[in-house]
Amino acid sequence: MNIKDIALLAETSVATVSRVINLDERVAEKTRQRVLEVMESTGYKPELVGRALLGQQKGKILVLLPTMANPLFARVLAGVEHRASANGYDVLICNTHRDYDIEKRYLNMVRANQLDGAILLTAAASDEELDAFAALNPLVQCCSRSLGGHISYTCIDDEAAAFEATNYLIGLGNQRIGLINGNFDRKYEIEREKGYRRALESNKIKFLRQYLGESDYNLYDGYDACRRLMELEHPPTALFCSSDQLACGVMKYVMEHGKRPGVDVDIVGFDGTYIAELCTPSITSIEQPGYEMGKTSFDLLLERIQDKEAIVKRVVMAYKLVRRGSTKECAAE
């Protein structure tokens, strides 16, 4: 099976199949989907660049961030840069603002052989598009799972972490627990909601959609999401937030309205960044091993740079629930 066979089965040209593989935006969406379906059904794997290109490595890699504001990403970058420097690589850091076109423009630098590979912290492109790209170019996903068969990744088990956090809040005596999550339908957002729901179900607590708050990942959106939840007729007695920044906004709203974190309202954040420790009281949080994820992501990428046929690896790292003053158990200490 070769690219000509794929073109024949998809009823299109070889050039069009090549464009689909290389994420070229000039392909109509229906045609793109048809080509991707044929590739998947036939198990077609595009021919990879020969090992001779190893001598043409640029010594530079790309790290794409959705935002510069999340302190977790700073920890990840520190890990990437540590391992990159030890291996003689420079790191180009770019902010995509979660914009598909910006992300694609930067990835095209890898496709054009201007950079040796890329590490992606969340993605705007679809799994199918990224997998087709990764079949030809070194690409690693960090902080989130990938369904693609050509993409190595490192992350935590977000569903298990959300289950543990929600179960912990239930164990403190809470029956009305709100979840403030991102609104981008990322895989980790979906998994965290699954974990939250599973914890409620396992404790025979009815899931109520009104206790879901969606927002961007910043203090101000956390504040607004908390306001909407607290204005309900029966507001939550506990809030599980999908980032420490959101939790910080929740803390601000709660205290401004005469309630005490860890006494009147239990609050749990996510990521375990310095923000959780700067607040007063400090915030209970799910701690992600950002530095280790960064180092591991670079190592996975280097394997793909050095050997285009290196086995795809899926590394799920350990997280930790760090208990602090924003929840009853620690507030009473």
**Which amino acid makes up residue 236?**
P
Instruction: Determine the Cα–Cα distance for residues 80 and 60; give it in Å rounded to an integer.
Output: 12
pLDDT at 49: 40
297 and 152 fall within a common domain: yes
151 and 294 fall within a common domain: yes
On whether residue 219 sits in a domain, the answer given is: yes
74 and 182 fall within a common domain: no
171 and 274 fall within a common domain: yes
On whether residue 96 sits in a domain, the answer given is: yes
280 and 305 fall within a common domain: no
On whether residue 323 sits in a domain, the answer given is: no
167 and 152 fall within a common domain: no
Last residue of a domain, one of 288, 303, 325: 288
pLDDT at 255: 96
Coil, helix or strand for 273?
coil
Other CB atoms within 10 Å distance of the CB of residue 206: 7
On whether residue 205 sits in a domain, the answer given is: yes
283 and 163 fall within a common domain: yes
On whether residue 332 sits in a domain, the answer given is: no
On whether residue 322 sits in a domain, the answer given is: no
21 and 73 fall within a common domain: no
Q: Residue 306 sits in which domain range?
A: 57-156+290-317
247 and 193 fall within a common domain: yes
pLDDT at 51: 34
On whether residue 107 sits in a domain, the answer given is: yes
pLDDT at 325: 96
pLDDT at 242: 96
Mean pLDDT of the chain: 90
**What stretches in the chain show pLDDT beneath 50?**
48-55
248 and 182 fall within a common domain: yes
pLDDT at 170: 97
Q: What is the CATH number of the domain that holds 133?
A: 3.40.50.2300
Specify the pTM: 0.81
Residues 6+ positions from 144 with CB-CB distance below 8 Å = 121, 122, 123, 153, 155, 186, 187, 188
pLDDT at 32: 83
252 and 280 fall within a common domain: yes
Number of domains in the chain: 3
18 and 102 fall within a common domain: no
